[in-house]
Structure 1
Amino acid sequence: MTTLTHHSAPPTPGMTRRQVLVLVLLLASQFMLAVDFSILNVALPSVGSGLGIAKADVQWIATTFALGAAGFTLLFGRVADFVGRRRLFLVGMTALGAASLLGGLAPSPGILLLARAAQGLATAAITPAALSLLTTTFAEGRLRDRALGLNSVMMSSGFTVGAVLGGVLTDLLSWRWAFLVNVPIAVVVVAVAPALLRDSAERERARLDLGGATLVTLGLVALVMGATRAGSVGVTDPLTLATLGLAAILLVAFWLLEERHPHPLVSTRVLRRRNVAWGNVAGLVTFAMESALVFLLTMYLQQVLGLDPLQTGLVLVAMGVGCVLGGVLAPRVIETVGVRRAAVGGLLTQALLTGTLVLVGETTASIVLVVAATFVGALGHVTAIVAFMVSATSGLPDREQGLATGLATMTQQVAMALGVPLLSAVAIAAGGVDSLAALRVAIGLDAAVVLAGALLVAAGLRPVVREAAQPTLMPANRSSSGTEVGTCEVTSS
């Protein structure tokens, strides 16, 4: 059995003033990214009609973003370890502001897709940099758990706010404001960040593994492309199968290369840590299936019940409220029952409440069930997210936090990119996304996958025994005297 045990360190009562300011800044950036991910989903039909994009091609507005965000996150997470998290965060935020301005002013579909690709690349740079800045600002223990819980709140509530805001801006102003709303926020963050953020870990001096970076990036891009095509034309399409097969070959080749490379992009030693590997499994399942559930419920509310985009967003506010409450409670749950039980319990709650949604009907009376189930299900979903982040970033020195958070962020982005098209393909095969029966089938499969994930994580993840370490703005693995205070040692029995 493998357990992670901290060297003890004296606890501290709370965050320093600088830690609070850093946390507020990083949470604001994460909230912005979450809003940016979902704000355009509601506006997609309006964007298509405004620029003359055919309905069959509108999905590429979302797919182009996902290709950059999912395909390059791991690479940028590792680049952060070389060039500095603070520098990459500022460059990424500047690029996101510029790309959002370009998208808001886009005169043609080509320029719009270019802007979406740039937004995806910027997101791939910002997210792991911001997350690793957060994990290196707070040493492992209660304060880091609280920070990760608040981070999950901002991400999850940002998705919901984005859906509502997208409907409001599209109805009252124009779909272009779904892009332009990012610009002033990016300007403020870039202006304030240099005074608050600092890199607390030493940078890597070894050469970047360009071969591994190329293989994993192309592999993830092929995976997202194949999944997206599966959602639009079906999983039996020859080109879909070829693309997914190519993705598998590239990712296997990446693993074999990393096994032998002297300075790998991803250390297979890190991937073999049970807490990192199974933590990411939990994250993959919960993110993929919750993103897919939001899509399926959006189709149900609009295509079956006939609600408009704004009404749909308002119904999903209950999910956002559940996410906020779940993020507040999750660190306390983890402190009480442990990371493993919190992850499994969160997944089981998400599976059970998702399963109840197969009972939705053709009348608006079912909205009550949707509101109740998504609220309670979101509590489990966010608890699983926080447990995933704690598990996936524990037991590693600061110099590997860019890698760990890059892996975690890649898991999140890939999950969101895969979940929607795959369950969309299931719904289409069962009768179409405007069919209540087909949507019930897809929702039932969603619940089954989360349940299977809960069972796998219960079997694979070992209890993480952790003691609160002293929060510091110095590297978490060193005290001022150079002694180890925040590291974990791995013992086997």
Structure 2
Amino acid sequence: MAQSAAETASGSTDSADPRRWLALAVIAAAQLLVVLDASVVNIALPSAQQALGMSDVAKQWVVTGYSLTFGGLLLLGGRMADLHGRKRMFVWGLVGFAVASAVGGLAENAAILLTARAVQGGFAAFLAPAGLALLATTFTDPAERGKAFGIFGAAVGTGGVIGMVLGGVLTEYGSWRWTLLINVPVVLLILIAAFRVLRDSRAGGPVRYDLPGTLTGTLGVGTLIYGISQAVERGWLSASTLTFVLVGIVLLVAFVWIEHRSAAPMMPLRVVRDRVRGSGYAVVFLIGGALYAFYLFLTYYLQVVQDYTPLRTGLAFVPIGVGIFIGSVVAGRLLGRMSARGVVIVGLLAGVLGIGWLGLIEPTTGFWSTLMPAQVVVGLGIGAAMTTVMKLTLDGVDHGDAGVAGALTNAMREIGGAVGISALNVVAISVTAAAGPLSDRTLTDGYAIAFLASAVVLAVATLIAVFAVKPDRVAHR
């Protein structure tokens, strides 16, 4: 990857950083914390709702508020990392994340908890793209970069599962408050290591802000995610859903037009014009949609149909976490020996097979006979595919754009997840309603069809990898 002439001396990659593997551990730990925190609170929500007297609407906002600020501020966070220093934004993101976690864990009412979760998501939006950009600028050797992204992908992929297990343990044996308070000592350890091993980098030249692009991009993504989240409760054709979705789309169209004309765009369009990178973002979007829906419907199936406790539900997701970890690490090693397109295609096909297998579930389907092996197959495939695609979206990007490129990867996964949950939830509810009176049988029918629809989403992602990505552009980067 050629380095931009505008890159400052602090970001020079002419010589390998001797502390780069320690830096990887710090970056992966921080990213694990961000992903983990999006799911760790889910298991604790019923306890928090009862303790603080929250309504069902307020309970939903504990999750939605985090996702909304995280997705809405990602592009701004990525660009600020490029302009002001990736290590600096990484550190400030960690500090703000820890403070918000402490406030949320000590909250005495629902308003404080909701505000703290929104602030948490906002600081995570500065932390996540800065970490991904640091990873891209620290590892420049193709073989080492593949291994580094394999380890990073394992952290991203297993974070949600670890969050569910940890949430169940902390809630059952401690308090829901510890699902937030535990972040404080963990962040402190990461900060100590970050100051010692991370090397800062940023884009050179004068710092200029694209205010119109910042406003339209941030508001556009946030409004779109909010509108999609409304579809779960009010339906896709409700006035509020349509209004927010359409306003979000209009703002994003305006954002693209502004970026095309801006002398200092927040998101240079050259980042997405590249065929391989653009296809990679599309695949990330589709994987996010299928995977987020997979977690949601399997959780419902285990708790509602098979009467699993929260802790047992969290532990039931360990197989996919193990699969993702192994798939990510193996993919990182394969990238030096075979084309990235081949790794992505094989991984996605495994994901199609695993999620499609769950389309055959019955109310009494066994864990060891079906649920466990299906999860392992899904994990192996998604781990390999997501790790490789994340690498593709950063390969060849100008170092001065690394932050915003990393932000787009995170944003596509977040928006894809919101769309997948909303759209496939409608599918599950419709099938259940058409199957007859509410029962374990009709609920299972809805979940099964939703799993099959998720498999179709991954099949579309596979077709994009087959036809839209040139093998000579992705091999041995």
Normalised TM-score (structure 2): 0.92
- Farther-moved stretch of structure 1 (22-31 vs 432-441): 432-441
The match for 1:389 is: 390
Aligned 1:280-359 pairs, distance under 5 A: 280-359=281-360
The match for 1:456 is: 464
Partner-residue secondary structure (3-state), 1:336 = coil
1:445 aligns with 2:445: no
- Farther-moved stretch of structure 1 (167-176 vs 431-440): 431-440
Aligned 1:111-260 pairs, distance under 5 A: 111-260=112-261
* Alignment partners' CA distance in 2, 1:272 and 1:183: 40
Amino acid at match of 2:322: V
Would the alpha carbon gap of residues 173 and 155 (structure 1) be closer, same or farther in structure 2, given more than 3 Å must change?
Answer: same
* Alignment partners' CA distance in 2, 1:443 and 1:431: 13
* Alignment partners' CA distance in 2, 1:374 and 1:333: 22
Q: As a proportion of its length, which structure holds more helix?
A: 2
Amino acid at match of 1:443: F
1:361 aligns with 2:362: yes
CA-to-aligned-CA distance 1:142-191 (integer Å, 9 cap, x gap): 11111111001011122111101101111111100000010001112222
The match for 2:87 is: 86
Report if the CA contact (8 A) 1:431-1:438 is conserved. Answer: yes
CA-to-aligned-CA distance 1:401-422 (integer Å, 9 cap, x gap): 1121121122222223332233
- Farther-moved stretch of structure 1 (444-453 vs 85-94): 444-453
Partner-residue secondary structure (3-state), 1:359 = coil
CA-to-aligned-CA distance 1:367-410 (integer Å, 9 cap, x gap): 53111011111111011111211110011221121121121122
* Alignment partners' CA distance in 1, 2:57 and 2:207: 46
* Alignment partners' CA distance in 2, 1:168 and 1:112: 21
The match for 1:33 is: 34
* Alignment partners' CA distance in 2, 1:237 and 1:57: 20
* Alignment partners' CA distance in 2, 1:411 and 1:337: 26
The match for 1:76 is: 77
Offset, 1:201? 4.2
The match for 1:490 is: none
Amino acid at match of 1:463: P
Offset, 1:464? 4.5
CA-to-aligned-CA distance 1:348-371 (integer Å, 9 cap, x gap): 211121111011111152553111
* Alignment partners' CA distance in 2, 1:54 and 1:420: 22
- Farther-moved stretch of structure 1 (261-270 vs 313-322): 261-270
Report if the CA contact (8 A) 1:5-1:465 is conserved. Answer: no
Offset, 1:15? 7.7
Report if the CA contact (8 A) 1:30-1:127 is conserved. Answer: yes
Report if the CA contact (8 A) 2:99-2:184 is conserved. Answer: yes
Partner-residue secondary structure (3-state), 2:228 = helix
Amino acid at match of 2:424: L
* Alignment partners' CA distance in 1, 2:189 and 2:62: 27
Amino acid at match of 2:294: L
Would the alpha carbon gap of residues 402 and 457 (structure 1) be closer, same or farther in structure 2, given more than 3 Å must change?
Answer: same
Offset, 1:302? 0.5
CA-to-aligned-CA distance 1:280-333 (integer Å, 9 cap, x gap): 111111122111101110000001111111111111100010011011111233
Offset, 1:269? 2.0
Would the alpha carbon gap of residues 372 and 246 (structure 1) be closer, same or farther in structure 2, given more than 3 Å must change?
Answer: same
Would the alpha carbon gap of residues 465 and 5 (structure 1) be closer, same or farther in structure 2, given more than 3 Å must change?
Answer: farther
1:270 aligns with 2:271: yes
* Alignment partners' CA distance in 2, 1:186 and 1:160: 19
Report if the CA contact (8 A) 1:343-1:383 is conserved. Answer: yes
Report if the CA contact (8 A) 2:301-2:447 is conserved. Answer: yes
Partner-residue secondary structure (3-state), 1:98 = helix
Amino acid at match of 1:75: L
The match for 1:50 is: 51
* Alignment partners' CA distance in 1, 2:407 and 2:366: 43
Amino acid at match of 2:111: G
Report if the CA contact (8 A) 2:84-2:202 is conserved. Answer: no
Partner-residue secondary structure (3-state), 2:364 = coil
Amino acid at match of 2:330: L
Report if the CA contact (8 A) 2:203-2:401 is conserved. Answer: no
* Alignment partners' CA distance in 1, 2:50 and 2:365: 29
* Alignment partners' CA distance in 2, 1:86 and 1:216: 24
Percent sequence identity over aligned pairs: 34
Would the alpha carbon gap of residues 127 and 204 (structure 1) be closer, same or farther in structure 2, given more than 3 Å must change?
Answer: farther
Offset, 1:244? 0.9
Offset, 1:279? 0.8
Moved over 3 A (4+): 14-17, 200-204, 464-469
* Alignment partners' CA distance in 2, 1:201 and 1:108: 41
Report if the CA contact (8 A) 2:227-2:241 is conserved. Answer: yes
Report if the CA contact (8 A) 2:151-2:332 is conserved. Answer: no
Normalised TM-score (structure 1): 0.89
* Alignment partners' CA distance in 2, 1:204 and 1:5: 18
Offset, 1:423? 2.0
Partner-residue secondary structure (3-state), 1:53 = coil
In structure 2, runs of 5+ residues without a counterpart are 4-14
* Alignment partners' CA distance in 2, 1:401 and 1:219: 22
Would the alpha carbon gap of residues 118 and 147 (structure 1) be closer, same or farther in structure 2, given more than 3 Å must change?
Answer: same
* Alignment partners' CA distance in 1, 2:352 and 2:210: 39
* Alignment partners' CA distance in 2, 1:402 and 1:237: 36
- Farther-moved stretch of structure 1 (88-97 vs 284-293): 284-293
* Alignment partners' CA distance in 1, 2:328 and 2:149: 8
- Farther-moved stretch of structure 1 (340-349 vs 438-447): 340-349
* Alignment partners' CA distance in 2, 1:5 and 1:97: 36
Partner-residue secondary structure (3-state), 2:27 = helix
The match for 2:67 is: 66
- Farther-moved stretch of structure 1 (300-309 vs 417-426): 417-426
Amino acid at match of 2:348: L
Would the alpha carbon gap of residues 367 and 71 (structure 1) be closer, same or farther in structure 2, given more than 3 Å must change?
Answer: farther
* Alignment partners' CA distance in 2, 1:333 and 1:468: 10
* Alignment partners' CA distance in 1, 2:16 and 2:416: 32
Report if the CA contact (8 A) 1:61-1:116 is conserved. Answer: yes
* Alignment partners' CA distance in 1, 2:29 and 2:367: 35
Report if the CA contact (8 A) 1:81-1:403 is conserved. Answer: yes
- Farther-moved stretch of structure 1 (83-92 vs 21-30): 21-30
